[in-house]
Amino acid sequence: MICPRCRKTTYVIDSRDIDCDAIRRRRECSACSYRFTTYERIEPIKLTVVKKDGTKQPYQREKIIHGILRAVEKSKVDRHQVEQLTDAIEQDLLACDIHEISTQKIGSIVLRYLCKVDDVACLRFSSVYKEFTTLKSFEKEMSKLQGKKQGVR
């Protein structure tokens, strides 16, 4: 890797796993002795997302994280848990072994994982994902969620 300060070669001082798919490396420049940290992550998913209107765009991990963060706002779910959820969701997306996926399919996968973590966040995400237009549809979803929870216990 090239030093960001002097553009010379650097070497690794220390490496640590920070997640199952990321490595933190401390580096030092052999010329100017500048130290810095880099993070290595598995190459992002090469996936195209098909939106409701038929337009296509590249998959962006940040959009899933943003959606989950909005849903878990004011809950006890922290950023680390959101990252772990996103990692699990991406593993499911990779397991599909397809190159194009609809926003509806992504939403259903996110919803499945989110419901395991926080009921309120699940309902909040569901209200956006399923586009509730009436109070009745919201109540129906809440009843479904309660039924699933009672069936698990």
pLDDT digits (tens, 9 = 90+) for 27-42: 999 999 999 999 988 7
Number of domains observed in the structure of the chain: 2
Q: Which domain holds residue 15?
A: 10-41
pLDDT given at position 153: 43
Confidence band, pLDDT 50/70/90 cuts, at residue 149: low
pLDDT given at position 18: 81
To the nearest 10 degrees (0 to 180), the angle between helices 61-71 and 79-95 is 130
Prediction pTM value: 0.63
Confidence band, pLDDT 50/70/90 cuts, at residue 150: low
Closest CA to 71 of 116, 34, 104: 116
Confidence band, pLDDT 50/70/90 cuts, at residue 49: very high
* Same-domain pairing of 34 and 52: no
* Same-domain pairing of 61 and 25: no
Q: Mean pLDDT over residues 38-49, rounded?
A: 82
